[in-house]
């Protein structure tokens, strides 16, 4: 009990001793301004942590000073705080990248590019985050596009990727995957760009399976519905035949993509599933399976086809305008004959 009383007494004594120190607030005097400014000035280059302490003390004691000293130290104080905060954010961003925390990569990356709009590395990391976590695809797509613009303009892609083509292939694939469900037709150009670039992604069967799905869910589905609405149960016409020809162009692209996915798949179960799909689609399109094996054997040795160009009916020749009939010339008015002159 005596020990507890002594401890309480000691605590009270310490509090009393500390009270005068807490009451000694610094005042914004000319001497304070000069001394604090000198401390900041002498350390602002080589010892910025000490300079920041001086600036922080100055703006606390003299918050309304807008003179030369106050202006300089307030500017330094704000810039140092911003830089320190950005440094912390960038460190957390790097940790999120290392730990493959894709949601945090996007959350923190937004703060990084807000302060550094030209930070291409941050755009790249955010852009491909959706490939690691499909839940982030939609949010990552705009940053993938921004990264594509930067790299194509000559911004660095290293050290995240070893080649420019590899960087662009993965970023285009990320944008395409984001569009695959919501706007499959818009995904096709990005998938095609990813497939044409020289990267390991070019040998990934999933890329071509996604492309085949984009054709099926995008233009093929739309054109099929339009055909049914316009030409179902009607006699074939040049317009209906043209609609079928255009539709078949896209089905041929779908078959090509599915054939590439099948040729690249090594898993026996997956390969059989894709082969069954390919056979059915090829037979529906060609009314037979003749030529399928030959196509499948050589499909990887041929360039992937571009989006087809829509065909149109030939424009009928213009009906010639008949030549105008020239107006008839007016008949001359006859001059009345003079009566004969009588002789005398």
Q: What's the pTM value of the predicted model, to 2 decimals?
A: 0.72
Q: How confident is the model over 157-179, as pLDDT tens digits?
A: 988 999 999 999 999 999 999 99
Note if the bond before 159 is cis, omega within 30 degrees.
Answer: yes
| Structure letter (DSSP) for residue 99 | T
pLDDT score of 9 more than 50: no
pLDDT score of 6 more than 60: no
337 falls in which pLDDT band (50, 70, 90)?
A: very low
Count CA atoms closer than 13 A to 113's CA, side-chain side.
19
Q: Evaluate whether 122 touches 116 at the Cβ level (below 8 Å).
A: yes
Mean pLDDT value across residues 314-342: 55
Measuring CA to CA, which residue among 22, 61, 23, 25 is closest to residue 40?
Answer: 61
Task: Give the pLDDT score at 12.
Answer: 36
Q: How confident is the model over 59-98, as pLDDT tens digits?
A: 788 889 899 898 887 887 777 666 677 888 999 999 999 9
What integer best gives the mean pLDDT of the chain?
Answer: 85
Q: Evaluate whether 174 touches 194 at the Cβ level (below 8 Å).
A: no
45 falls in which pLDDT band (50, 70, 90)?
A: confident
More confident residue, 77 or 135: 135
Q: Evaluate whether 184 touches 218 at the Cβ level (below 8 Å).
A: yes
The CA-to-CA distance between both ends of the chain, in Å, stands at 183
Task: Give the pLDDT score at 326.
Answer: 55
Task: Give the pLDDT score at 344.
Answer: 33
pLDDT score of 7 more than 60: no
Residue 180 to residues 211, 218, 283, 335: CA-CA distances in angstroms?
9, 9, 26, 92
Q: Please state, in angstroms and rounded to a whole number, the distance separating the CA atoms of residues 174 and 142.
A: 10
Measuring CA to CA, which residue among 230, 231, 228, 224 is closest to residue 246?
Answer: 224
Count CA atoms closer than 13 A to 46's CA, side-chain side.
2
State both tokens at 185. 């037709």
pLDDT score of 324 more than 90: no
Note if the bond before 215 is cis, omega within 30 degrees.
Answer: no
pLDDT score of 342 more than 60: no
pLDDT score of 152 more than 80: yes
Q: How confident is the model over 235-252, as pLDDT tens digits?
A: 999 999 999 999 999 999
Q: Evaluate whether 197 touches 165 at the Cβ level (below 8 Å).
A: yes
Residue 82 to residues 27, 279, 335: CA-CA distances in angstroms?
27, 61, 110
pLDDT score of 55 more than 50: yes
Q: How confident is the model over 119-131, as pLDDT tens digits?
A: 999 999 999 999 9
Q: What percent of the chain has pLDDT over 70?
A: 83
Contacts of 135 (CB under 8 A, 6+ apart): 103
Q: Please state, in angstroms and rounded to a whole number, the distance separating the CA atoms of residues 95 and 104.
A: 9
Task: Give the pLDDT score at 254.
Answer: 98
Contacts of 111 (CB under 8 A, 6+ apart): 86, 89, 93
Q: Evaluate whether 187 touches 177 at the Cβ level (below 8 Å).
A: yes
Measuring CA to CA, which residue among 166, 172, 214, 215 is closest to residue 193?
Answer: 172
Task: Give the pLDDT score at 239.
Answer: 93
Domain boundaries, the chain: 26-98, 204-307
Task: Give the pLDDT score at 232.
Answer: 87
Contacts of 106 (CB under 8 A, 6+ apart): 126, 129, 136, 139, 140, 143
Q: How confident is the model over 190-216, as pLDDT tens digits?
A: 999 999 999 999 999 999 999 999 999
């Amino acid at each position: 009990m005596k020990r507890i009383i002594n401890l309480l007494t000691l605590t009270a004594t310490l509090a009393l001793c500390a009270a005068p120190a807490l009451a000694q607030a610094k005042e914004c005097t000319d001497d304070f301004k000069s001394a604090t400014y000198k401390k900041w000035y002498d350390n602002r280059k080589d010892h910025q942590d000490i300079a920041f302490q001086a600036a922080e003390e100055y703006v606390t004691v003299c918050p309304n000073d807008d003179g030369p000293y106050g202006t300089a130290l307030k500017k330094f104080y704000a810039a140092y705080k911003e830089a320190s905060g950005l440094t912390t954010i960038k460190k957390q961003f790097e940790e999120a990248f290392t730990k493959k925390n894709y949601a945090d990569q996007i959350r923190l990356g937004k703060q990084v590019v807000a302060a550094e709009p030209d930070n291409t590395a941050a755009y790249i990391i955010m852009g491909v985050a959706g490939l690691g976590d499909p839940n982030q695809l939609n949010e990552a797509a705009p940053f993938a596009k921004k990264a594509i613009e930067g790299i194509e303009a000559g911004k660095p892609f290293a050290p995240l990727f070893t080649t420019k083509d590899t960087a662009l292939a993965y970023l285009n694939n990320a944008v395409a995957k984001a569009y695959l469900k919501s706007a499959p037709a818009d995904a096709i150009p990005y998938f095609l760009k990813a497939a044409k670039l020289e990267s390991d992604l070019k040998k990934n069967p999933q890329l071509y399976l996604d492309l085949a799905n984009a054709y099926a869910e995008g233009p093929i589905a739309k054109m099929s519905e339009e055909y049914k609405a316009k030409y179902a149960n009607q006699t074939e016409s040049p317009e209906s035949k043209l609609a079928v020809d255009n539709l078949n162009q896209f089905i041929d692209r779908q078959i090509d993509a599915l054939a590439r996915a099948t040729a690249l798949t090594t898993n026996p179960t997956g390969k059989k599933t894709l082969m069954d799909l390919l056979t059915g689609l090829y037979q529906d399109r060609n009314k037979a399976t003749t030529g399928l094996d030959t196509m499948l054997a050589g499909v990887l040795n041929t360039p992937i086809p571009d989006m087809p160009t829509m065909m149109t009916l030939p424009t009928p020749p213009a009906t010639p305008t008949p030549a105008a009939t020239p107006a008839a010339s007016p008949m001359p008015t006859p001059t009345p004959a003079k009566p004969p002159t009588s002789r005398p």
